[in-house]
Amino acid sequence: MKKLNLLTPGPVPMPPEVYNALGELMSHHRTPEFTKLLIDCHNNLKNFFSTKQPVLFHTSTGSGAMESAIVNCLAKTDEVLVVVSGKFGERWRDICNVYGLKKVHVINVPWGESVRVEQIKAVMDSQPIAAVLTQHCETSTGALHPVKEIAEMLKAYPKTILMVDAITAIGAIELKMDEWGVDVICAGSQKAFMMPTGLSFIALSEKAWKKTEVSDLPKYYFNLKSELKALEKGQTFFSSAVTHIRALNAFFNYLNTQGGVEFLQKRCKLLSKATTEYIKILGLDIFPQVPSPSLTVLKVPKDIDGKKLRQHIEDKYGVVFMGGQDELLGKIIRIGHLGYITNEKLIEGLEALAMALNDFDFKMNQEQIYNAKSLAKKILEETL
């Protein structure tokens, strides 16, 4: 495969330490050596999630953790409220429907917009809601939802839990599970954890753990009680993803030398700021009203097919961005800021975007392009 500059929301570029860990010889997952590795990873995950609660592993994509959250914390008689503002809000809704919950209430937010706390409160005041399900960052649009404010509002509803898909948010955005009062957080390995797809993580508050005692939805592989018992022995309930957990350990070793999760958050903000300013100088518009620093989403000029533009950037310039999905197909380009992205690689990707737009007759003068690059470089050189 040709070497490409990967600037997508996930999977993401990986640091050398992670690549090296992935190449180690295989070992068994029921050994003292692996048990220590697993426990070390678990302790680091608790810090990453800002929680004292256990953070459990599934060998799955992040969507597996979302399904796990639903089948472990909810019951057939429950009514839930789902925020749908893009492709992954739809996923929360669809999983709830598959498991036949009593009623799935939906707040449909226009793609690119963020939910308002008042919208959620209005439903809470009129319906017996057992759980509110939302994204922190809606990956398909780049929109950021006010999770801290939602959690604060829900403190007035002690029977309701807040379940957050933080797959593209955790590590990039401040998210304090215990302090804010978030009850369930789901995450995936292919984003801020800088490793391949294949591990998902889930943490439950004490309040959410109590919900597992009355959950009557079917569960076998995604049984968190079984996973918790296994973790207490330094194991996973099913065969462990040895290579992935080694890679996770390597990621934490790398991260701890850089300054921890705060370093990642600052780095994402810096990449986001540089990209946003570059795009504005080119004369392009940002799509979401409240952008997440996890990724920058730009509107493709109306007379250009974004799908063809993105393919052209990959074929001619060797840079991989992501496009829109469903109603946004061909209308946006998504530039990721998670992962091991150097300043040089980001600038290379932004220059490829500018050159490709010129190829598609979206003409910019050289002064614009020079000014955009100069400002982006200046921002990236800011001290973390």
- The answer to whether residues 239 and 355 belong to one domain is no
Q: pLDDT at position 130, please?
A: 98
- The answer to whether residues 166 and 187 belong to one domain is yes
In this predicted structure, the answer to whether residue 2 has a pLDDT above a threshold of 80 is: no
Average pLDDT, the chain: 96
In this predicted structure, the answer to whether residue 32 has a pLDDT above a threshold of 90 is: no
Pair of tokens at residue 331: 């209308």
Confidence class of residue 90 from pLDDT cuts 50, 70 and 90? Answer: very high
Report if residue 24 sits inside a domain.
Answer: yes
- The answer to whether residues 226 and 166 belong to one domain is yes
- The answer to whether residues 192 and 279 belong to one domain is no
Q: pLDDT at position 127, please?
A: 96
Report if residue 5 sits inside a domain.
Answer: no
Cα separations in angstroms, 70 against 79, 139, 197, 204, 268:
12, 20, 21, 12, 30
Report the CATH number at residue 57. Answer: 3.40.640.10
Report if residue 4 sits inside a domain.
Answer: no
What is the per-residue pLDDT across 287-303, written as a single tens digit (0 to 9) for each?
A: 999 999 999 999 999 99
Report the CATH number at residue 376. Answer: 3.90.1150.10
Report if residue 350 sits inside a domain.
Answer: yes
- The answer to whether residues 282 and 236 belong to one domain is no
- The answer to whether residues 173 and 228 belong to one domain is yes
- The answer to whether residues 229 and 367 belong to one domain is no
Q: pLDDT at position 37, please?
A: 94
Name the 3-class secondary structure at 80: strand
What is the per-residue pLDDT across 189-223, written as a single tens digit (0 to 9) for each?
A: 999 999 999 999 999 999 999 999 999 999 999 99
- The answer to whether residues 29 and 135 belong to one domain is yes
What is the per-residue pLDDT across 278-289, written as a single tens digit (0 to 9) for each?
A: 999 999 999 999
Pair of tokens at residue 107: 């707040």
Q: Which residue range(s) make up the domain with 244? A: 16-257
% of the chain surpassing 90 pLDDT: 94
Report if residue 117 sits inside a domain.
Answer: yes
Q: Write down which residue in 202, 236, 257 finishes a domain.
A: 257
Q: Report the C-alpha gap between 66 and 122 in whole angstroms.
A: 25
Report if residue 206 sits inside a domain.
Answer: yes
Distance of CA 339 to the CA centre of its chain: 11
Contact 349, 355 (CB under 8 A): no
**Number of C-alpha atoms within 13 angstroms, CB side, residue 348?**
15
What is the per-residue pLDDT across 257-276, written as a single tens digit (0 to 9) for each?
A: 999 999 999 999 999 999 99
- The answer to whether residues 45 and 156 belong to one domain is yes
- The answer to whether residues 309 and 182 belong to one domain is no
Task: Read off the pTM.
Answer: 0.95
Q: Write down which residue in 205, 231, 257 finishes a domain.
A: 257
Identify whether 11 is preceded by a cis peptide bond (ω within 30 of 0): yes
> Considering its fold, how many domains does the chain have in total?
2
Quickly list H helices, 78-124.
Answer: 87-98, 117-124
Report if residue 9 sits inside a domain.
Answer: no
Q: Report the C-alpha gap between 338 and 341 in whole angstroms.
A: 7
Confidence class of residue 340 from pLDDT cuts 50, 70 and 90? Answer: very high
* Mean pLDDT, residues 124-150: 97
Contact 105, 123 (CB under 8 A): yes
Nearest to residue 115, comparing CAs of 89, 92, 152?
89
Q: Write down which residue in 217, 241, 257 finishes a domain.
A: 257
Q: pLDDT at position 313, please?
A: 98
The dihedral through the CA atoms of 229, 233, 237, 242 has a sign that is: positive
Distance of CA 102 to the CA centre of its chain: 28
Residue in this structure with the two tokens 């978030």, named with its chain if needed:
182
- The answer to whether residues 308 and 216 belong to one domain is no
Confidence class of residue 27 from pLDDT cuts 50, 70 and 90? Answer: confident
**Phi, psi angle pair for 164, to nearest 5°:** -120, 125
Report if residue 11 sits inside a domain.
Answer: no
Q: pLDDT at position 31, please?
A: 85
- The answer to whether residues 209 and 160 belong to one domain is yes
Q: pLDDT at position 384, please?
A: 54
Per-position DSSP letters for 226-291, written without gaps between them: HHHHHHHTTS-SS---HHHHHHHHHHHHHHHHHTSHHHHHHHHHHHHHHHHHHHHHHT--B--SSB
Contact 90, 230 (CB under 8 A): no
